């Protein structure tokens, strides 16, 4: 899988941006969830079931078309009354026996699949808590005290338990290449598991309409070999070397002096807001606004100054500031890896 954000188009006028995004969606396979290109055992099973249903449907469709063609041709050739016994036989076989066999086979396959992939295939030493908000994902690693947003780092080759809870309305957690959908109903704990066999970035998407920015409620699952994943955990736990001088320090002071701190947390600083996404590793994320924009200096600057044109209806107000302050704050935020 390529880097998804490479395929995004730069924002221009709001009206045009929509058209460009739609064109990009059509042109770029990377932007569409690829449930039929499974990256793990659960999605592999689901894809197998899908193809099974597809081929059965294709054969039935073909058979119906052949019978229809034959019937139309026959009618023209002969005016003879059809044989009642033969008609009854065709109706019983085509209308009762075949559908029953097909539906029962599909039901057995589906029930077997539900029983097979509902539970992880082995122990899940790693647990990740995911909380859905309108319209972003809070991601917490309770074992390590790590918190991030809109991206889930997992090690490859092992099932990871994902515990799900919604903070507001019904959302649905879906990583098409790794597993099926799991609804997130407020007040109801749910769980699923993800296993990626190969390293890569897997697109996740909210799969239940949840308001204005439902389509911009994306996330990335970043799967890495266990050793690299452990390195990521160690860096997240160990860092928080906050700057004490220079432009980064000045940028940090501007951040801490702004209203940003009421909603955002940066570990190791007095900023402990929880209303918005944790920004402790904002500089290392591929995307901004839950998959709305690629994370680069231009989009980050635009997002801070006024995120509303970029993702209308999101809960972040504009944060006006001088361009000099903004540059320093961008430097600081980009340094948070
Ligand atoms: Cu959250 Cu749709």
CA of 167 to the centre of ligand 1 (A): 11
Task: Indicate the helix (H) or strand (E) that contains 9.
Answer: none
- Count how many Cα atoms sit within 13 Å of the Cα of residue 268 in the half-sphere of its side chain: 15
Which DSSP state fits 50?
H
CA of 212 to the centre of ligand 1 (A): 9
> Quick one: which of 247, 216, 169, 170 has its CA closest to 316?
216
For each of the chain's 337 residues, which pLDDT tens digit applies?
334 443 433 333 444 444 444 444 444 444 455 778 899 999 999 999 999 999 999 999 999 999 899 888 876 666 666 677 888 888 898 889 989 999 999 999 999 998 999 999 989 999 999 999 999 999 999 999 999 999 999 999 999 999 999 999 999 999 999 999 999 999 999 999 999 999 999 999 999 999 999 999 999 999 999 999 999 999 888 866 788 888 889 999 999 999 999 999 998 888 889 999 999 999 999 999 999 999 999 999 999 999 999 999 999 999 989 999 999 999 999 999 8
List all residues whose CB is within 6 A of at least one atom of ligand 1. 132, 135, 171, 206, 208-210, 214, 217
Atom of ligand 1 at shortest range from CA of 135 = 1
CA of 207 to the centre of ligand 1 (A): 6
How distant, in Å, are the alpha carbons of 10, 18, 64, 256 from that of 81? 69, 61, 22, 89
135: cis peptide before it, omega within 30°?
yes
Atom of ligand 1 at shortest range from CA of 171 = 1
CA of 116 to the centre of ligand 1 (A): 27
- The closest residue, in CA terms, to atom 1 on ligand 1 is 171
Intra-chain end-to-end CA distance of the chain, in Å? 23
CA of 288 to the centre of ligand 1 (A): 16
pLDDT given for residue 80 in this prediction: 65
Instruction: Find residue 166's DSSP bridge partners.
Output: 132
pLDDT given for residue 178 in this prediction: 95
pLDDT given for residue 244 in this prediction: 83
Strands 190-194 and 127-133: unpaired
């Amino acid at each position: 899988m390529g880097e998804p954000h490479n395929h995004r188009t730069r924002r221009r006028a709001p009206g045009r941006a929509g058209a460009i995004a739609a064109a990009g969606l059509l042109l770029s396979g990377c932007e569409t969830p690829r449930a039929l290109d499974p990256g793990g055992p659960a999605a592999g099973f689901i894809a197998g079931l899908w193809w099974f249903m597809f081929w059965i449907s294709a054969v039935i469709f073909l058979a119906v078309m052949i019978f229809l063609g034959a019937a139309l041709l026959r009618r023209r050739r002969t005016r003879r009354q059809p044989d009642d016994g033969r008609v009854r036989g065709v109706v019983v076989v085509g209308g009762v026996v075949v559908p029953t066999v097909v539906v029962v086979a599909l039901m057995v396959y589906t029930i077997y699949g539900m029983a097979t992939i509902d539970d992880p295939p082995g122990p899940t030493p790693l647990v990740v808590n995911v909380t859905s908000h309108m319209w972003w994902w809070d991601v917490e690693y309770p074992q390590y005290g790590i918190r991030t947003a809109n991206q889930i780092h997992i090690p490859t080759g092992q099932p990871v338990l994902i515990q799900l809870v919604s903070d507001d309305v019904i959302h649905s957690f879906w990583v098409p290449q790794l597993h099926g959908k799991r609804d997130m109903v407020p007040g109801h704990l749910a769980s699923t598991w993800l296993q990626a066999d190969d390293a890569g970035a897997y697109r996740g998407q909210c799969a239940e309409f949840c308001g204005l920015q439902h389509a911009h409620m994306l996330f990335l699952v970043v799967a890495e070999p266990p050793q690299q994943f452990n390195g990521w955990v160690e860096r997240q736990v160990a860092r928080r070397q906050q700057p004490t001088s220079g432009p980064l320090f000045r940028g940090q002071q501007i951040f801490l002096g702004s209203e940003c701190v009421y909603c955002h947390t940066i570990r190791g600083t007095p900023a402990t807001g929880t209303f918005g996404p944790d920004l402790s590793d904002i500089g290392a994320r591929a995307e901004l606004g839950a998959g709305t924009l690629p994370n680069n200096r231009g989009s980050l600057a635009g997002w801070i100054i006024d995120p509303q044109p970029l993702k209308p209806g999101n809960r972040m107000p504009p944060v006006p500031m001088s361009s000099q302050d903004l540059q320093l704050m961008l430097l600081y935020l980009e340094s948070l890896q």
